[in-house]
Amino acid sequence: MSFPVHTRKTSRRTFPLESLLMPQVPRSNYLHFQEEKQRLQLKKFLLHRMFLVAKITADTEKKHIAEYYEQVFQSILKHHLGEAVTGLLLLYPTSILHILESCNGTLYRILSDYLNREKNETEFFIQGMKIIVVSHNIPTRLFMQWHVSVIKVPVIYLDDVTQSQSLEEVITEFLTQTHKLALHLFKTVKVGTKGPGDNLHQAVPELLLPEQIIKYLCKSEEFMDTETFINMYNKPIHITSDSEVVWPAPSHF
């Protein structure tokens, strides 16, 4: 006796050969790329680097300037979520060179505090601050912490380079020398130490800028002062979209 055998037809989907051979690449966008980059670098916010110069009164105790900035940094960190401040403060006899690295909000509050003191205090020891350049979204820090160094011994320069060079040449020398000094400190100063101290004029005199260049930049009108910078920062940007433009333009009869 034979029994009928029923065969079930199974339907199988056939996929194109191209889909099997094509590699599956995860898709992302530029925002995810930037966020991942910040996460890998352990940064909560984008970093910026700011170069500042200013004049100081001759009878000012240099430690008072360092204490002022330390108090400002601590106050900002207590009340504002942001990145820690790193950089270098060089204290010359009558001027300062200040390099700051932090997030946008922290730098804004540092400048705002200085501007308020300059306006409200009759004789604030830091005067005529100028912003030389701001580097946005820097990939890494040049400084692992904030250092202060007093240039005790004034260096004698036979020629005033600011009298024979153009502004472009002076600013090029300014940026070149400051970056060389920053790289030197990055390689030599260990994290957690007090920093270079007050002997930079003996250790690396060839990397120090002449004070005459800093004073020249303080007087230059091509660079923005703090008040102008803060006003531009606070000024809203009005952008006219295409939907707001009517064509042809209305005319009055």
pLDDT (tens digit, 9 = 90+) per residue, 120-129?
Answer: 887 899 999 9
User: Quick check: 185 and 143 in contact, CB under 8 A?
Assistant: yes
The average pLDDT across 154-158 equals 52
User: Quick check: 99 and 182 in contact, CB under 8 A?
Assistant: yes
* Tokens found for residue 135: 């580097």
User: Quick check: 79 and 105 in contact, CB under 8 A?
Assistant: no
Which comes out higher in pLDDT, residue 14 or 203? 203
Asked which of 21-30, 135-144, 232-241 is least confident by mean pLDDT, the reply is 21-30
User: pTM of the predicted model, to two decimals?
Assistant: 0.74
Residue 154 — very low, low, confident or very high, per pLDDT cuts 50/70/90?
A: low
Residue 26's region, left for phi above 0, alpha for psi from -120 to 50, else beta, is beta
pLDDT (tens digit, 9 = 90+) per residue, 25-44?
Answer: 556 666 666 556 555 555 56
What pLDDT does 157 receive? Answer: 53
Query: What sign does the CA torsion over 212, 60, 74, 131 have?
Result: negative
What pLDDT does 171 receive? Answer: 92
Please name each of the domains of the chain with its CATH number.
44-232 (3.30.70.100)
What pLDDT does 149 receive? Answer: 92
